[in-house]
A and B are shown apart, each in its own frame.
Chain A
Amino acid sequence: MSETNESEILFGIYCPPHPQPLLSPEASEGYSNLRTAYDECRNRIEESEADIIIVYSTTWPSIIGHQIQALEKAVWTHVDDDFHYLGSMPYEFHMDTQFAHSMKENCQKRGLEARTVEYEGFPIDTGSVVALQLLNPDNRIPTCILSSNMYSNRSETIVLGKAVRDTLAQQNKKAVVVVVSSLSNRMFTEHIDPKEDRIHSQKDDDWNRKILEFFDDGRLEDLSQLSRDIHGQIRVQKVVAYKPAWWLAATMGQHNNYDGEVLAYEALHGSGGAVITLTPSSGSVGDKEFDEDDVEFYRGDRNVLDKGMLE
């Protein structure tokens, strides 16, 4: 297998991290719609020829570079920090250890700090647990979970996506890639009746629907280019940037040639929860100016102060 092989991504999934679709789908029509959409994605994965499911989870923050889950069998019972009263989430996930180790090396080749984690009892995050339980319940396909470094910004995230492509091409594997993230992520700060769940504000709903139009048109690279605006408008400022579209575009290919399908869009305790698929196709509908540099190699934070100093 040569390293110049093109990676093959069968399709991408964007899905929300909160546990209601897994633990209480019957509590509201919205949660049940999200569950149905997850089930549809599960079927499509089963019918695909995927060798691996790669998950990028916004609810797994890391500090030492990028962490890659590599424990062959990850078994535990997870409980969410906020939604513990909805129940426990026992899981057993099978990791593609070969992929995880090569992924680490490919990250390093591209200048990223990266490491695998292989520890019994490692706390896999709510988003990854929810997505994998619903999308791959019987471990039919091995998986790999990637963390989201809390200090990383666009260039690092783009390079991380490219390292996924390198690894898939190297191993000649067909992948389904999964981003676990809300759209708008502001939740209600009180406990609510699930039947009365709605998007937290009209503004969040408006932005979510605009983003969904882009997804529906397959305009992934346009969304990637809009990430900073999305972060400013509808993301609670918990991390430095909204990174999922950067990672997804860098991993799947930075263009707009996709067939997009929004399978569900519902409120999850006020946040925007959408289950979306993107399948590579041909023909671009992009009309945004691609105004940020593409990045192949991560060189760390540029020390602007030093460079600007007089000798």
Chain B
Amino acid sequence: MAKGQIVAGCLAPHPPHLVYADNPPQNEAYSEGGWETLRWGYQRLARKLKDIDYDAIVIFTPHWQTYIGTHFLGLPEFKSKSVDPVFPNLFRYNYDLQVDVELSEAMREAASEEGIITKMMRNPDFRVDYGTITSCHLLNPKWDKPIVTISSNRNAHYYSPEVMIEQATALGRACAKAIEESGKRVVLVASHSLSHRHFVEEAPLPEDMSKEHIYNHSQYVWDMKIVEMIRDGKSREVIDIMPEFTEQTIAETEGGGLIWMLGAMGFPDFPAEIYGYQSVIGTGNVIACWDPNDDTREYVL
């Protein structure tokens, strides 16, 4: 059996607004569009992924929050409706998705061997979180690949950002090992925004782009710093600056997704492809892809 490998790593923010703006048949809400910079960026990245041969998507989400260890989806199929608890007016999405349980179990076991507390989630009534649904919908609208969702353990809250970095890195290492041993080709997804201060009011028409802007300039400057670093292939430096970035911008990086993904990819020193940056209800969002293949890596934006 050939060694498995990570064929791409995507930083894929999940504002439900982007699915809402797309008007897919699965979503009950209707919009007049909006947030094209991100949506068109996503569409371009989705086209790239279509040309990559891969078996599964493994996604780390900040909206399945666990305090007792890291949990993995552990049933082959989940079908239900995901309603966003914060933006239910925008996101009521009927999903029907497949899970690569074999890969999920292998990653859980590898994580456990790394000393991480783990749990398989095998309750059939469990609702898959909207972070997973949004990022996966935008990266693979056909849903023709199985996924694995990994919960985000909130150890930044319980201990410190430094502990979180260590644990997320160890989890990434473990997942990479399990993927290699599985023989599968896998796309990793870190599902989150960068700066994450929201406006607490919503425009009467949420997709009215004349009202959309970053919450404040400081958030923008920090986001651009991160974008510049990943563009330059400085992923270790991104991790070093992460505690301060997260604190200063209330960033959604606090869940550990990007650290997990970069850790799994061995902290790449090649540049990330940038597909777009835009604010959504004040938060800062970048779509990026780390393509380890020197022949297919592009300078997108």
* Residue among A60, A77, A84, A186 making CB contact with B85, cutoff 8 Å: A60
Docked CA distance A85–B155 (Å) = 21
Contacting residue for B86 out of A62, A85, A88, A188, CB 8 A: A62
The answer to whether A191 and B69 touch (CB under 8 A), given A65-B201, A81-B64, A117-B88, is: yes
Cβ of A119 and Cβ of B125 under 8 Å apart?
A: no
B126 and A79 form a contact (CB under 8 A): yes
Evaluate contact between A188 and B68: CB separation under 8 angstroms. Answer: yes
Q: Report Cα–Cα, A237/B83, bound state, in Å.
A: 26
Nearest chain A residue, comparing its CB with the CB of B197: A151
Whether A82 lies near B68 (C-beta < 8 A) is: yes
Say yes or no: is A123 at the interface (Cβ < 8 Å to chain B): yes
Q: Are A191 and B92 in contact, with the CB atoms below 8 A?
A: no
Q: Is the CB of A79 within 8 A of B202?
A: no
Known interface pairs A187-B68, A189-B69, A269-B68; A88-B85 also in contact (CB < 8 Å): no
Complex Cα–Cα for A151 and B282 (A)? 14
Q: Does A311 contact B (CB under 8 A)?
A: no
Complex: chain A residue closest to B121, CB-CB: A84
Chain A residues 56-93 with CB under 8 Å of chain B are 60-65, 77-79, 81-82, 84-85, 87-88
Q: A77-B125, A79-B127 are in contact. Are A149 and B85 (CB under 8 A)?
A: no
Measured CB to CB, the closest approach of chain B to A270, in angstroms, equals 9
Q: How far is the CB of B93 from chain A (nearest CB, A)?
A: 10
Main DSSP-derived SS at the B contact region: loop
A61, A113, A119, A190: the one contacting B201 at CB < 8 Å is: A113
Any chain A CB within 8 A of the CB of B198?
yes
Residues A84 and B67 in contact in the complex (CB < 8 Å), given A63-B200, A189-B158: no
A269 vs B67: C-alpha distance when bound (angstroms): 11
Main SS at interface, chain A: loop
Which residues of B, 85-123, contact A by the 8 Å Cβ criterion? 85-89, 92, 117, 119, 121-123
Q: Residue B154 at the A interface, CB < 8 A?
A: yes
| Any A CB within 8 A of the CB of B193 | no
Chain A 194-231, CB-CB to B under 8 Å as 1, else 0, gives 00000000000000000000000000000000000000
Bound: A175/B65 CA distance, A: 33
Give a binary string over B195-227; 1 marks a CB under 8 Å from any A CB, 0 the rest. 000101110000000000000000000000000
A63 and B198 form a contact (CB under 8 A)? yes
Contact assessment for B86 and A122 in the assembled complex, using a CB-CB cutoff below 8 Å: no
Known: A65-B200, A190-B117. A236 touches B88 (CB 8 A): no
**Bitwise interface map of A from 90 to 125 toward B, beta carbon under 8 Å scored 1, else 0:** 000000000000000000000001000101111101
Q: Is B132 an interface residue (CB 8 A)?
A: no
Is A238 at the interface (CB under 8 A from chain B)?
yes
- Out of A65, A78, A190, A237, name the residue touching B68 (CB < 8 Å): A190
Bound complex: CA A87 to CA B123 (Å): 7
What 0/1 pattern do residues 148 to 171 of A give for CB contact below 8 A with B?
010100000000000000000000
Tell me if B235 counts as interface (CB < 8 A to partner A). no
Chain A residues whose CB sits within 8 angstroms of the CB of B248 once the complex forms? none
- Interface residues in A114-152 by Cβ distance below 8 A to B read 117, 119-123, 125, 149, 151
How distant is the Cα of A186 from the Cα of B83 in the complex, in angstroms? 28
From the candidates B83, B121, B151, name the one contacting A121 in the complex (CB within 8 A): B83
Contact of B202 among A64, A85, A123, A189 (CB under 8 A): A64
Q: Is the CB of B85 within 8 A of A123?
A: yes
Residues of A within 8 A of B87 (CB): 63-64
User: Is there an interface contact between A64 and B201, defined as CB atoms closer than 8 Å?
Assistant: yes
- Chain A neighbourhood of B281, CB < 8 A: 63
The answer to whether the Cβ of B234 comes within 8 Å of any Cβ in the partner chain is no
A72 smallest CB distance to B (angstroms):
16
Q: Does B66 contact A (CB under 8 A)?
A: yes
A189 touches B86 (CB 8 A): no
**Residues of B264-291 whose CB lies within 8 A of A:** 281
A122 interface neighbour in B71, B85, B117, Cβ under 8 Å = B85
Which residues in B have their C-beta under 8 angstroms from that of A236? 157-158
Interface positions, chain B 116-175, Cβ under 8 Å from A, are 117, 119, 121-123, 125-127, 151, 153-155, 157-158
In the bound complex, do residue B88 and residue A187 qualify as a contact, i.e. CB atoms below 8 Å apart?
A: no
- Which of B158, B200, B201 is most buried by chain A, counting CB atoms within 10 A of its CB? B200
B81: interface (CB < 8 Å)? yes
- Flag if A121 contacts B92 (CB, 8 Å): yes
Contacting residue for B81 out of A61, A121, A188, CB 8 A:
A121
A128 to chain B, nearest CB (A): 11
Q: Name the residue in A78, A84, A88, A125 with the highest tally of chain B Cβ atoms < 10 Å from its Cβ.
A: A84
- Extra contacts, 14 of them, besides A62-B85, A63-B198, A79-B127 (Cβ < 8 A), are A77-B125, A79-B123, A82-B66, A84-B122, A85-B119, A113-B200, A119-B92, A120-B81, A122-B85, A187-B67, A187-B68, A190-B68, A191-B117, A237-B157
In order of increasing CB-CB distance, the 3 nearest A-B pairs are A88-B125, A84-B123, A79-B126
List, sorted by A's number, 11 A–B pairs whose CB atoms are closer than 8 Å: A63-B86, A64-B86, A84-B122, A85-B122, A87-B123, A117-B88, A122-B85, A151-B198, A190-B69, A191-B69, A238-B154
